[in-house]
Amino acid sequence: MKLIALGSLCFWIFAGCGMVTAGPSTAAVFKAMLSNATLSGTWAPMAHGAIGSDKQDGYHIVRADQLEGKNWRVISRVKYQGKMVDFPIPVEMHFAHDAAVMVLTNVPIGDGGTWSARIMFHDDTYSGHWWSPDQTKTGFVSGTITRVAK
């Protein structure tokens, strides 16, 4: 019991000193992970409490820029009206040790709708949950991340 109490005390001391939280190196690793990266995987819709069939999914990320604090901008390359364009997506980033969690809350994307999502990135993989504001459209994504050499 004393060992557990000591461990707990050490955790709170280190947390207070900033030693347990993610540092700039975690943000740098995340930024490098999404630099000229392709996310390849699947998405699956959810309806009436059941997950539907997986569908192929993919994204090209040009880069991720840290703006101020938790605010980031992820630049995604998408096809729009027959042309490839770079589309900035405002996100919040949260770091837990060596994992990054991307938070979107009612962000206008794509077809004029707004979307929310919580996507975790770790070790060149991603997984998460997305939904529309009224929860009529919701689902899951997961896959792997590769980078294209410049």
Taking alpha carbons only, the member of 103, 43, 112, 42 closest to residue 74 is 103
* pTM summary value: 0.78
CA atoms of 5 and 12, how far apart (whole Å): 11
Contact partners, residue 37, CB within 8 Å, separation at least 6:
60, 61, 145, 146, 147, 148
The dotted CATH code for 22-147 is 2.40.128
CA atoms of 73 and 65, how far apart (whole Å): 5
Longest dimension (CA), the chain: 66
Taking alpha carbons only, the member of 86, 59, 56 closest to residue 73 is 86
* Mean pLDDT over the full length of the chain: 83
pLDDT in tens, 73-98: 999 998 888 999 999 999 999 998 88
pLDDT in tens, 99-119: 999 999 999 876 678 999 999
Q: How confident is the model at residue 149 (pLDDT cuts 50, 70, 90)?
A: confident
